[in-house]
Structure 1
Amino acid sequence: MRKLKGVTYYFAFLSLVAMGVFHIYTAIFGTFEAYLQRNVHLIFALPLAFIFYPATKNSPKDRVPWYDWIFAGLSVLPGLYAILNYEMIIYRMVQVEEVTTAQIVLGTLLVVMVLEATRRIVGLALTILAAASVFYMYVGHLLPGQLKGMYVTYDRIIEHLYLTGEGIFSTPLGVSATFVMLFLILGGFLEHSGVGEYFMDLSKALAGKTIGGPAKIAVVSSGLFGSISGSAVANVYATGTFTIPMMKQLGFSPVFAGAVEAVASSGGQIMPPIMGAAAFIMASFLGIPYKQVMIAAFVPAFLYYFYVFMSVHTRAIKRGLRGLPAEMIPSIKHVLKKLYVLAPIIVLVVMIMRGYTPMRSALIAIIVSWFVSLLDKRYRMGPKGVLNAIYDGSKNVFVVAIACAAAGIVVGAVTLTGLGFKLVSFIFSLAQNIPFLALVMVMLMSIVLGMGLPTTAAYIVASALAVPALIRLGFKALPSHMFVFYYAVFSAITPPVALAAYAASSISGAKPSETGYQAFRLGLIAMIIPYAFMYDTGFLLQASWMRNLLSLAAGLVSAMALSYAIEGFLKTKLNLVSRILLGAIGVLVLFPILWLKILCIVAFAIVFAQFSMRAEKI
């Protein structure tokens, strides 16, 4: 991202603030009709993408060259035409009325501009996928066998992508233009009101004195901070610059320190109440309130962080690592005095749970965070501070907005050509109607997509392609979407392309590949839990309260058993047989068989008691 100066900076600043004010206005007085709202959103984001992001690594980073100003100007034209001719567009009969030459030219221009912005901001993987989708729409009817698509003329392709709500302006961009934008602005206000620093102080006070304190601080702070950042890599740099050096100083290896931060940061996107942008898109796809997604995500997120916490705790005991020095830990009294800083998060959760829309909840949380800032001189936001908060929050929209626009091209190809039905049949034939094999294939597809795409884009594409097949195999819609979402998220710690781990290694100084494999070990339960909730919805709090409690208990046992088995330590060193036994308990307890769950819970209790008594005798 360019560091703008002078007149260009002020232009970009005012444009982003105007964009933020527009979305705050629509949150207060109601959004425009979907197609219009999404066009206004993109007419802000797309031109600014060319101003903020250089074309190549060698392009100027401190100024905007003339050709990027041309790109920015051209990218305004399709949206401006759509806004000025809005009524004509929404009332025209799709696939009946003729597409004019001007519409074909402007639609083509929009597709080209979106692809170029995607290349600059998101990367080549999504760019190639979106471009291939356009190509498939045009020549798919010429391909042989199962790949053969429907015959579609070029003007109808452009009509579908540009003049309807089924292509670029489909649901993904709609979510970016409503929920996501407000939550990004909320993130800016939370940072400027001191919530980020308070999360770090709270983590130090809670975990700093315990064994392996810095690593536990990383887990707690990254989980808390990640719930407002929604980006694994951004989270690594925000908290890792503090936690990784602390872990290394206390005796953790650079590889382990980086892996802890990567794993803790990646979980931020599944951490309620503010999850990644994909969670809002999931709610829209399913047609359910966001709070249902938030509730369903709670137990898997809790078990994930509990497993990481237990792994860190076990490693620290095993190596005799202590907590932070007393002078580095804020007093509980000091932290509790500032508990009011959490008011925006509390208000947000309460409002969502009481049935308010995410937009209205985020809006009220923004107002509360501003009031909170007034109570501390260091963070007090006057008019300038408010504008800076809107700017800093809005500046994070480019990855989401452009990725959603590009993913809309892919979704448009799926809906226009019938490709989705072909992929459902393909998954059925490969899985041979065995649901578990289908889950394995969808997992691999989601991980591969997540390696090359941002979580939001990976989820959109994978869910469009795979979820219909899972539903036809008998799985429920919500678990199916969550399954795809989780593996898209945790591709950030899955080798060979583990972006969060690579970001952490740049801070820790360890080898990226070693950090990636260690992060995969630390996040192992994330690879297992999705299978559990596909067969047992108690893990998503979707069953009876008794079944929900049993699933939670089984998850806790699995997290402890697997952490002890992987680390090879439970009060004392474990031999190979004990590690295999604990590993088996950790996996089998997640099976959707009542008697097996109870048997594994009892077996774990016996093993734990035996090793505890053995340790006391040593």
Structure 2
Amino acid sequence: MSDAIDPVPAQRDESASHALRGWQGKLFGLLCVLYAAWHLYSLNIAPLETWLFRILHICGALVLGFGLTSVLLTGPDNRLRKVAMERSVALIAGLPVIYALVLTLYGVFQYWNAGTVENPDTTFAYFGVSLAAGTLLAIVAGWFLRGNEGRISSIDWVLVLASIASTGFIALSLDALNLRLRAGTPFADPQNAWAAFVAMALMLELTRRVAGLALVAIAAIFVGYAFLGPWLPGFLEHRGYDAKRFFSYVFTDNGILGPTTAVSSTYIILFIIFAAFLQSSKVGDYFVNLAFATAGRARGGPAKVAVFASGLMGMINGTSAGNVVSTGSLTIPLMKRVGYRSQSAGAIEAAASTGGQIMPPIMGAGAFIMAEITGIPYTDLVIAALIPSVLYFVSIYFMVDFEAKRLGMRGMTSDEVPKFRKLARQAFLFLPIFILVGSLFLGYSVIRAGTLAIASAAVVSWLTPFRMGPLQIIEALRNASQMSIQIITVCATAGIIVGVISLTGVGARFSSLLFELAETSKLLALIFAMIISIILGMGMPTTAAYAVAASVVAPGLIELGIAPLIAHFFVFYFAVVSAITPPVALAAYAGAAIAGAEPMRTSVTAFRVGLAAFIVPYMFFYSPGLLMEASWIEIIRNAITAIIGVYFLSGAVQGYLMSPLAPVWRILLLGAALCMISGDWRTDVIGIVLGAALWLKSRHDVERVAREA
């Protein structure tokens, strides 16, 4: 293990992450390895009690997160003075935090030895106030002060200790202070409420560092809503809650310890470890090389490579923006080299990477959250997702191809792409994916199937020059923990929102509002649900975006009589595409940064390229056969007409079929595409006839130009 450990990637330019060196780098490198290994051990060999396991899962993410992220830079001037000030503030904040930590450890020691805590009201009388005062001071000071690069700042050490003290006290409270029975009631323990408040503050601060302010702002609005309910109008009004009841309730399985953390502590962490093993064994590189060999020499080849490679890698990667960074660093420069504009290159990569989140069998872990929330078997969700994901990627492929035709682009030369024959002999590198999918369909649990896939990635590496020995496995575990911090943190923060929705009942009120809209028009209700899902998802990773939208929007759609499978896929798609929806389009902004393009223009272009994702949910609402919810004849008919529809849609957006299209023909072609949405055979016939006529006209124009030439 090297002495230096890389930081958690920050999402904003002004944040300062540093590489830890010396004993701190070794310590946190070891903690990262132990954190990932502990999950594998607990999930497969020695399961812990559910609440305790989730609390420790969050505690580990907070400790690693504050150790591996840096505080905000304030500039190079007066460095020594600022370091001295930072240490002084850390000392002032650290003393009450250490006092609270000592009390927590003393309580754990008592409970471990005697099975009870003597005089808890007296023992912990000043626990909460001390912990909260020290933690809040450290958080605020961390916005302005920093220490030397290459080490953890004194303020971050205070936050590490506060993470242990707050989550440790909540874990102690499970049985010793009857947390399960008293949380969220008037009889809740006030010290437990203080600990939950501090833990939530720490989660919001870490979320700010690793994911930006969008999710923090949304969570803060929901927390404010819990207290301001009595003064709000209309369906938003509720009776309001005091702080003790609110904070103790939210840190239970109705909120932070609920579905979002349940999934991040099992499925998400497992598949992040799987992705880390694929990277370490270079199996992930094989996916990208195969995409280059398959599509690189085609017209506009690098863009088509981005479609394939981002789909393969994105289904494993849990964030659209993270997928853009990992594959876009390779595909975007190549797209620019063959003639794509900077904003188009960034947009195509962003749209393709976002599509990876809807690509089975993993769907960026979204399938596992959906299975957890709906109770629908995972295998049924994977099968249902097949046709919609194909439609999305086929649409992007058509968009790319039409633009390449319009601009007269070339593909890559034979010397620039890997040899397909050579890669075909390495097809065994797909074995981990085959084992994963096969195990799931044979009835193995997701955890067991994922563990087998992880092991198979290590075994397969021995058939390549990149053999995974003990050091490589340790490195993969370390990388997995670093990769997981962002998504674990945002899932926990999303749990705050879920807890508020559960406590206040605003989800049910929203359902009634949708029901009223549906009396006017069901399509209007769907459009409203789409807008809310996109707004809730803006600035958030896929898993958190879907978890929130599923709590607010999906129940309302189900009340309208929409099948749970369709309702949840509907909100899932729009939660996913929020990553390419202006004005907060994180995936598009990541692509723009790599391409050197203007972010807003790139986001608008990405929205246009991924337009099919905004149409497909309406298609499977009107044509359930697209989710395999019909007879085979109807499924096949729906699939074929839908592919024709997205072909027409792509041509209308790009203004090109066999030749450039005038505005009036683009409008007619768009009309033909929209005719294919309803699934009714009569509108399908109208759309096909109209689209075919326009295609023939476009071809005739090409032939006429050729004759004149």
For the aligned pair, the TM-score class normalised by the smaller chain equals: over 0.9
Q: Which residue of 1 is the match for residue 356 of structure 2?
A: 268
Residue 623 of structure 2 corresponds to residue 536 of structure 1? yes
Give % identity: 38
CA 1:110–1:584: 2 relative to 1, 3 Å: same
- Residue number among 68, 72, 81 corresponding to 1:56 in the alignment: 72
CA contact (8 A) 1:433 1:473 kept: no
CA contact (8 A) 1:189 1:386 kept: yes
Superposition pairs of residues 29-44 of structure 1, within 5 angstroms:
29=45, 31-44=47-60
**Given residue 656 of structure 2, which amino acid in structure 1 is its aligned partner?**
F
Q: Which residue of 2 is the match for residue 360 of structure 1?
A: 448
Q: Secondary structure at the match of 1:570?
A: coil
CA distance in 1, matches of 2:425, 2:291: 15
CA distance in 2, matches of 1:128, 1:496: 16
Q: Which residue of 2 is the match for residue 104 of structure 1?
A: 193
Residue 281 of structure 2 corresponds to residue 196 of structure 1? no
- Residue number among 288, 307, 311 corresponding to 1:219 in the alignment: 307
CA distance in 1, matches of 2:625, 2:203: 41
Aligned-pair CA distance for 1:84: 3.9
After superposition, give the CA deviation of every residue in 1:380-437 in whole Å (9 maximum; x if it has no partner): 1111100111111221222221112111111111111222222223344456542211
Q: Secondary structure at the match of 1:569?
A: coil
CA 1:361–1:90: 2 relative to 1, 3 Å: farther
Gaps of 5+ in 1: none
CA 1:396–1:387: 2 relative to 1, 3 Å: same
After superposition, give the CA deviation of every residue in 1:73-114 in whole Å (9 maximum; x if it has no partner): 111123223434544446635566833343233222222222
Aligned-pair CA distance for 1:364: 0.3
After superposition, give the CA deviation of every residue in 1:549-593 in whole Å (9 maximum; x if it has no partner): 111111210121112222222222323333222211111112131
CA distance in 1, matches of 2:597, 2:186: 60
Residue 660 of structure 2 corresponds to residue 568 of structure 1? no
Residue 118 of structure 2 corresponds to residue 118 of structure 1? no
Aligned-pair CA distance for 1:605: 4.2
CA 1:80–1:333: 2 relative to 1, 3 Å: same
After superposition, give the CA deviation of every residue in 1:29-87 in whole Å (9 maximum; x if it has no partner): 26433212211211211122211222324445532111111111111123223434544
- Residue number among 555, 560, 563 corresponding to 1:476 in the alignment: 563
After superposition, give the CA deviation of every residue in 1:223-243 in whole Å (9 maximum; x if it has no partner): 112122232212222122221
Mean alpha-carbon deviation: is it higher for 140-149 or for 214-223? 140-149
Aligned-pair CA distance for 1:132: 3.2
- Residue number among 221, 224, 246 corresponding to 1:157 in the alignment: 246
CA 1:95–1:315: 2 relative to 1, 3 Å: closer
Aligned-pair CA distance for 1:24: 0.7
Q: Which residue of 2 is the match for residue 310 of structure 1?
A: 398
- Residue number among 457, 474, 493 corresponding to 2:580 in the alignment: 493
CA 1:361–1:30: 2 relative to 1, 3 Å: farther
CA distance in 2, matches of 1:94, 1:50: 28
Q: Secondary structure at the match of 1:495?
A: coil
CA distance in 1, matches of 2:234, 2:340: 55
After superposition, give the CA deviation of every residue in 1:329-388 in whole Å (9 maximum; x if it has no partner): 2222111111111110111111222232221111000000001111122x2111110011
CA contact (8 A) 1:541 1:548 kept: yes
CA distance in 2, matches of 1:478, 1:30: 34
Q: Secondary structure at the match of 2:538?
A: helix
Q: Secondary structure at the match of 1:118?
A: helix
CA distance in 1, matches of 2:173, 2:583: 48
**Given residue 266 of structure 1, which amino acid in structure 2 is its aligned partner?**
T
CA distance in 2, matches of 1:289, 1:363: 19
Aligned-pair CA distance for 1:293: 2.0
Mean alpha-carbon deviation: is it higher for 336-345 or for 510-519? 510-519
CA distance in 2, matches of 1:321, 1:115: 47
After superposition, give the CA deviation of every residue in 1:116-158 in whole Å (9 maximum; x if it has no partner): 2222223223223323333333342344543321343332223
Q: Secondary structure at the match of 2:553?
A: helix
Aligned-pair CA distance for 1:199: 1.3
Q: Secondary structure at the match of 1:486?
A: helix
Superposition pairs of residues 589-604 of structure 1, within 5 angstroms:
589-604=676-691
Q: Which residue of 2 is the match for residue 412 of structure 1?
A: 499
CA 1:54–1:470: 2 relative to 1, 3 Å: same
Residue 414 of structure 2 corresponds to residue 398 of structure 1? no
CA contact (8 A) 1:27 1:363 kept: no
CA distance in 2, matches of 1:470, 1:614: 46
- Residue number among 506, 517, 542 corresponding to 1:455 in the alignment: 542
CA 1:113–1:384: 2 relative to 1, 3 Å: same
* TM-score computed with the length of structure 1 as normaliser: 0.95
Q: Secondary structure at the match of 1:384?
A: helix
CA contact (8 A) 1:230 1:274 kept: no
CA contact (8 A) 1:277 1:400 kept: no
CA contact (8 A) 1:230 1:268 kept: no
CA distance in 2, matches of 1:333, 1:37: 47
**Given residue 564 of structure 2, which amino acid in structure 1 is its aligned partner?**
A
**Given residue 120 of structure 1, which amino acid in structure 2 is its aligned partner?**
R
Q: Which residue of 2 is the match for residue 236 of structure 1?
A: 324
**Given residue 169 of structure 1, which amino acid in structure 2 is its aligned partner?**
L
CA distance in 1, matches of 2:186, 2:517: 41
Q: Which residue of 1 is the match for residue 379 of structure 2?
A: 291
Q: Which residue of 1 is the match for residue 613 of structure 2?
A: 526
CA contact (8 A) 1:194 1:341 kept: no
**Given residue 515 of structure 1, which amino acid in structure 2 is its aligned partner?**
T
- RMSD between superposed Cα atoms in Å: 2.1
CA distance in 1, matches of 2:47, 2:584: 39
CA contact (8 A) 1:104 1:159 kept: yes
Mean alpha-carbon deviation: is it higher for 225-234 or for 547-556? 225-234
CA 1:97–1:510: 2 relative to 1, 3 Å: closer
Superposition pairs of residues 571-586 of structure 1, within 5 angstroms:
571-586=658-673
* TM-score computed with the length of structure 2 as normaliser: 0.83
Higher relative contact order (CA 8 A, sep 6+): 1
CA contact (8 A) 1:492 1:500 kept: yes
CA contact (8 A) 2:622 2:677 kept: no
After superposition, give the CA deviation of every residue in 1:511-541 in whole Å (9 maximum; x if it has no partner): 2222222211111111111111122211112
Mean alpha-carbon deviation: is it higher for 153-162 or for 253-262? 153-162
- Residue number among 26, 33, 38 corresponding to 2:42 in the alignment: 26
Superposition pairs of residues 171-186 of structure 1, within 5 angstroms:
171-186=259-274
CA contact (8 A) 1:46 1:114 kept: yes
Mean alpha-carbon deviation: is it higher for 422-431 or for 477-486? 422-431
**Given residue 362 of structure 1, which amino acid in structure 2 is its aligned partner?**
G
Specify the structure having the higher radius of gyration (Cα): 2
CA distance in 1, matches of 2:184, 2:409: 68
**Given residue 383 of structure 2, which amino acid in structure 1 is its aligned partner?**
I
CA contact (8 A) 2:219 2:493 kept: yes
Residue 432 of structure 2 corresponds to residue 344 of structure 1? yes
Q: Secondary structure at the match of 1:272?
A: coil
- Residue number among 23, 31, 39 corresponding to 1:7 in the alignment: 23
The structure 1 segments of at least 4 consecutive aligned residues displaced by more than 6 Å after TM superposition are: none
CA contact (8 A) 2:320 2:541 kept: no
Mean alpha-carbon deviation: is it higher for 356-365 or for 415-424? 415-424
Aligned-pair CA distance for 1:594: 2.5
**Given residue 274 of structure 1, which amino acid in structure 2 is its aligned partner?**
I
CA 1:496–1:375: 2 relative to 1, 3 Å: same
Q: Secondary structure at the match of 2:637?
A: helix
CA contact (8 A) 2:259 2:372 kept: yes
Q: Secondary structure at the match of 1:160?
A: helix
CA 1:136–1:248: 2 relative to 1, 3 Å: closer
Q: Which residue of 2 is the match for residue 72 of structure 1?
A: 160
CA 1:325–1:479: 2 relative to 1, 3 Å: same
Mean alpha-carbon deviation: is it higher for 597-606 or for 571-580? 597-606
CA contact (8 A) 1:231 1:268 kept: no
Mean alpha-carbon deviation: is it higher for 113-122 or for 178-187? 113-122
After superposition, give the CA deviation of every residue in 1:212-232 in whole Å (9 maximum; x if it has no partner): 212111111111121222322
CA distance in 1, matches of 2:153, 2:398: 52
